[in-house]
Amino acid sequence: MPSKLRLLRDEDLRQLLAGRGLRVTEQRLAILRMLARLRVPTSHPELTARMAGSGLDQSTIYRNLVSLTDEGILVKTQLGDNVWRFELPQGPQVAHGTHPHFVCSDCGWVDCLPSGSVSLTGAAAQNEVAEVQLRGRCSGCVRG
């Protein structure tokens, strides 16, 4: 089974939490399941809207996002719009935050790009780069 699909199983999510010394709770599992399904950086308001009807209020979701990020399970990124987004790495890579993101300047759609899809040269390659973002128009906006 490819590593990208591995974290979709509840047992893997339980092991991920326990391996970081966190209690395995239904709230944490529900949040991780949703982020695993979404596979894109998602803001707290977006996640709260998607989880409406789950019995989790926005405060509970936020507290869990913070604790899961603090423990290194989730990655938090800001894509230039002053909105923090959270994502669940889909593989065992530790440096998940170093992959580039594409952000559509029209609709705000965010896509995770493979880590080797952008290479820096010249003076940029001499720096310690924390994050790379590509901005433009997604194919849906170009066609639309």
CATH assignment of the domain containing 104:
3.30.1490
Residue 29 lies in a domain: yes
For 73-109, letters b (16+ CB in 10 Å) and e give bbbebebeeeeebbbbbbeeeeebeebbbbbbeeeee
Measured on CA atoms in the order 32, 38, 39, 42, is the torsion positive or negative? Answer: negative
pLDDT digits (tens, 9 = 90+) for 108-136: 777 778 877 888 888 877 887 767 788 88
- Is 0.85 surpassed by the pTM of this model? no
> What is the C-alpha to C-alpha distance for residues 108 and 92, in angstroms, rounded to an integer?
27
62 and 28 part of one domain: yes
9 and 78 part of one domain: yes
pLDDT digits (tens, 9 = 90+) for 22-58: 999 999 999 999 999 987 889 999 999 999 999 999 9
> What is the C-alpha to C-alpha distance for residues 64 and 29, in angstroms, rounded to an integer?
10
How many structural domains comprise the chain?
A: 2
- Give the domain range for residue 136: 99-143
Residue 92 lies in a domain: no
Residue 18 pLDDT exceeds 60: yes
CA-based nearest residue to 32, from 105, 87, 79, 103: 87
51 and 104 part of one domain: no
